[in-house]
Amino acid sequence: MTDAPPSTLLADQTAYAEAVQLALDSAAAYYRDGTSTLDDDAYDRLVRGIQAYEAEHPDAVLPSSPTGKVAGGAVVGDVPHTVPMLSLDNVFGAEQLAEWVASLERRLGRPVTAWSVEPKLDGLAITARYRGGRLAQLVTRGDGTAGEDVSHAIGTIVGLPARLADPVTVELRGEVMMTASQFEEACAKRQAHDGTSFANPRSAAAGTLRAQDRPYVCELTFFGYGALSHPDDSSELAVRLRESPHSEVMAWVAGQGVQTPAVTDVGGVVAASLEQVQERVEQIAAERAELAFGIDGIVIKCDLAADQAQAGFSSRAPRWAIAYKLPATEKITKLVAVEWNTGRTGIIAPRAVLEPVELDGSVVTFATLHNVADIQRRGLMLGDSVVVYKAGDVIPRVEAPVVHLRTGDEQPIAIPQVCPSCGDAIDASQERWRCVRGRACRAIASIGYAVGRDQLDIEGLAENRILQLLDAGLIVDFADLFYLTREQILGLDRMGEVSTDNLLAALDRAKGQPLSRVFCALGVRGTGRSMSRRIARHFGGMDAIRAADAEAIQAVEGIGPEKAPVVVAELVELADLIDKLIKAGVNMTEPGWVAPGDPSDTANSELPLAGMSVVVTGAMSGALEALSRNEMNELIERAGGKASSSVSAKTSLLVAGEKAGSKRAKAESLGVRIVDPEEFAGLVGSLL
């Protein structure tokens, strides 16, 4: 099968025996409390290596080998399961999935005409036993035949009601996990308690589910994936659960008040063919980065009970279901160093330097640490083994240290006492530290940003020219550029009459830029090009923006309660700069703006892209060839659309140029309309 990820190579029997023991120890820790010396991807590679060695040396297989066993053979329990609680076999791509389907249909002697496709939730499998409709017992999967009683967790798990809608006796099986918000809250509680943090949501959920003596309580979430009755039960409900399609069983579970994946955008669906299954797999994978909880794959099952019964089970897994594994979005690596950089607004930001690690298709060497408070909350130290996380196109970030892997050689992270750029003092009154000089600390960077193509687009102001103007004392910020005289510019080295006149003409053109670009040039913290366009189109003029309080700013799409006060404070700080721009005659209005509720506000609904979410990818050509990506986004919004950077099920249109790559493939899998640059140019017509 050609699309399987690589496995760990084992050279001899000694290496094989060591690998078996490592896998056993890792699985035991993983299923005990979520800790492990290996991340999921490393464990999967190790087990595939063990399987490959055993295939070549069948007489040398150790009895303790994890292959063919539930939970890798590492877990035992003392509460017997009424029906074995098995694991799932894995496939790692479309080719392997097709081979598995073909093998299953050969076993059945007929095509499978109904498939259930569900997200594979990254949690811990449990069974919840209800008696007379009341939740009576929770049991972990254990070794598949018996598990551990964790009934003390009853009452702390969202989605698992104390009573069902009907007074029935039934077992519900599903995953216990932590959502992103629950994980953040759990980390805050643990940090306050002992100064450490959980490594990731799964380890947090595993430890929390088994914890009985913690002085704090962490909330968990349950998603059901099955329901069953005792094999000897012949009641009407028991027969219904055994003979109904899986999709109908899950609908019944949801009707009892239990949470299932159906409440999410990636809930289960029934597909009639392999092609439809693969389409759904791609859809779920595309939504993965936007989910509030972790998934590590997609589960494909025969939906019909008759197909399941005929396919049967192996010693560790049902033959009628498979897990389609997705690439890992988190890995464990070493935190080698922390770099401190001052940005163009004076913000002092730390960046993690990592031992290179392959993550979600790319090699990651650096990751986000956000700020000093973030480092302290997570309890990070130099030399720590850390969980690095990435989902979709999101910048990698350090999630947390893996505390149980510490050796004692780790060192505290040195926190800067002065600005790493200019050596001046640091304003630490806010969570994000800032040089007391603010934008003046990196004036050359803030001015260079303001005059860039996607902001004021002032040609002739390369970094060396800006530095020359700063050194000559002619400017201190970009507003001063509009007060330069011809004589002042001619007095600079290597500035002749032609280049001086060209620069003055570019400055004069920049005065007429729309408000959205002027606002973007200000470099307001928490905003960028797209947010600047939204703010300008919402308020229409700089006076209205400056008069807005936090509540009014929050009315702009994408600005939440945390960002709005920052924008207001930034505008106060930038008051002198804005006043200088106004005095210089720089435009402070957004062309074509109509006040919300104005009777004439009907034009937008007639624009060619009205209400559409549009993504641009690849190299543009034809009439669009000269446009930057920001100019393309501006064009989309002038045409009534919303510019987006990532493809999802909510995308209306993808403009795909040459070398469109993965975004085109994702759009195809989601059924998103795709147009080339020439067709898009025709759509927007005279707006070009």
Handedness of CA 409, 359, 175, 197 (dihedral sign): positive
Interior/surface letters 302-321, b for 16+ CB within 10 angstroms, e for the rest: bbbbebbebbeeeebbbbbb
The token duo for 393 is 């196109």
DSSP state of 6: P
Q: Is 120 a catalytic residue?
A: yes
- Please state at what angle helix 40-56 crosses helix 13-33, rounded to 10 degrees: 140
SS3 130: strand
Strands (E), 202-307: 220-228, 269-271, 295-302
Kindly report the CA angle at 290 between 287 and 292, in degrees rounded to 5? 115
| Contact yes or no for 500/489 (Cβ under 8 A) | yes
C-alpha to C-alpha distance for 156 and 137, rounded to whole angstroms: 13
DSSP secondary structure letters along 577-605: HHHHHHHTT---B-TT---TT-TTTTSGG
Instruction: Write down the catalytic residue from 69, 120, 301, 331.
Output: 120
Q: Are strands 157-158 and 362-368 parallel, antiparallel or unpaired?
A: unpaired
Would the CA dihedral through 375, 378, 383, 385 be positive or negative?
A: negative
Place of tokens 């920001």: 630
CA-CA-CA-CA torsion sign (79, 83, 89, 95): negative
Residue type, 376: Q
**How far apart are alpha carbons 360 and 312 in whole angstroms?**
34
Strands 90-91 and 321-325: parallel
- Confirm if 672 and 644 have CB atoms less than 8 A apart: no
Number of C-beta neighbours around residue 463 at 10 A = 11
Residue numbers annotated as active site: 120
